[in-house]
């Protein structure tokens, strides 16, 4: 006697096919855990402080732009800007937080694009923070050709020329990253762009000051990152509604 076969009901066949599809999608990365929009509770934390530089600061060096006469004309006395800030303070330090808890949420996106500009044959600003998915507008405000060439670690690399008066480039980044920007036509042009998956980051100003608001209470690693002086971290637990001063120092000898 041969084997017995039982006909499946159409509804059962559909259920099996649906389960197979879900499992296959899960294995291929087609289905991801759904993140929840973060809703403010009124117990958020404010974090601020001052970044200082200890030791002898190296003097900015003059940049030779004579290879492009237009650059020399629009910026006759350019200086390096890797380690800058007033007196014993340090500018251009990324301050941001890390926590697996933040990965469970989505946060409201900025209402305006971030802007990076070729001006005076320099990138302005020299250090910039953007959000994942936030539009980045890149302008050429000089009467000469420029080249915009980011070299990311986690995003796609691209390289595009910009003629004088050309429309701005408009780009986005899909992954958190720290991205050096260069200009292949003007090798002295450098910028440093941090891409973040949440809004809890800041960049220290000329007086070394930074401020982060609206942070949910909890335990975090606070990261201080400078393009040449490196990265330092501290673990901190914030209680609801806390206003915390967290200042930090880099040594001039760190690079």
Confidence of residue 159 (pLDDT cuts 50, 70, 90): very high
Give the span between the Cα atoms of 136 and 138, in whole angstroms.
6
Q: What is the mean pLDDT of residues 143-155?
A: 97
C-alpha distance across the termini of the chain, in Å:
83
Give the span between the Cα atoms of 208 and 250, in whole angstroms.
11
Higher pLDDT, 27 or 148: 148
Q: Which of 4, 105, 94, 104 is nearest to 51 (CA)?
A: 94
**What pLDDT was estimated at residue 5?**
35
Radius of gyration of the chain (CA): 24
Q: Which of 88, 53, 99 is nearest to 212 (CA)?
A: 99
Q: What is the mean pLDDT of residues 112-117?
A: 97
Q: What is the mean pLDDT of the chain?
A: 88
Give the span between the Cα atoms of 114 and 93, in whole angstroms.
18
Give the span between the Cα atoms of 191 and 174, in whole angstroms.
19
The answer for residues whose C-beta is within 8 angstroms of residue 94's C-beta and 6 or more apart is 127, 129, 178, 194, 201, 202, 203, 223, 224, 225, 226
Query: What is the signed CA dihedral for 151, 142, 187, 252, rounded to 10 degrees?
Result: -80
What own/partner pairs with CB < 8 Å and gap ≥ 24 does 5-13 have? none
User: Is residue 147 scored above 90 in pLDDT?
Assistant: yes
Backbone angles phi, psi at 185, to 5 degrees: -80, -30
Report how far apart, in Å, the C-alpha atoms of 94 and of each of 17, 56, 102, 130 are. Answer: 49, 21, 18, 11
63-102 confidence digits (pLDDT tens)? 999 889 999 899 988 998 889 999 899 999 999 999 999 9
């Amino acid at each position: 006697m041969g084997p017995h076969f039982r006909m499946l009901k159409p509804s059962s066949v559909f259920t099996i096919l649906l389960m197979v599809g879900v499992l296959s999608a899960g294995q291929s990365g087609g289905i991801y855990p759904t993140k929840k929009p973060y809703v403010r509770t009124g117990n958020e934390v404010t974090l601020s402080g001052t970044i200082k530089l200890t030791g002898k600061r190296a003097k900015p060096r003059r940049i030779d732009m004579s290879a492009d006469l237009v650059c020399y004309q629009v910026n006759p006395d350019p200086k390096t800007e890797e380690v800058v800030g007033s007196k014993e303070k340090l500018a251009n330090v990324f301050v941001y937080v890390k926590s697996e808890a933040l990965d469970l949420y989505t946060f409201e996106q900025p209402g305006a694009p971030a802007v990076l500009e070729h001006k005076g044959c320099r990138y302005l600003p020299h250090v910039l923070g953007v959000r994942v998915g936030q539009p980045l507008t890149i302008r050429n405000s000089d009467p000469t050709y420029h080249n915009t060439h980011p070299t990311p670690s986690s995003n796609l690399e691209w390289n595009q020329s910009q003629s004088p008066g050309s429309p701005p480039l408009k780009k986005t980044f899909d992954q958190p990253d720290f991205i050096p920007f260069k200009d292949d036509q003007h090798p002295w042009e450098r910028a440093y762009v941090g891409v973040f998956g949440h809004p809890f980051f800041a960049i220290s100003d000329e007086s070394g000051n930074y401020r982060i608001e609206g942070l949910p209470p909890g335990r975090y690693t606070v990261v201080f990152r400078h393009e040449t002086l490196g990265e330092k971290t501290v673990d901190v637990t914030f209680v609801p509604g806390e206003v915390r001063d967290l200042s930090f120092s880099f040594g001039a000898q760190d690079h």
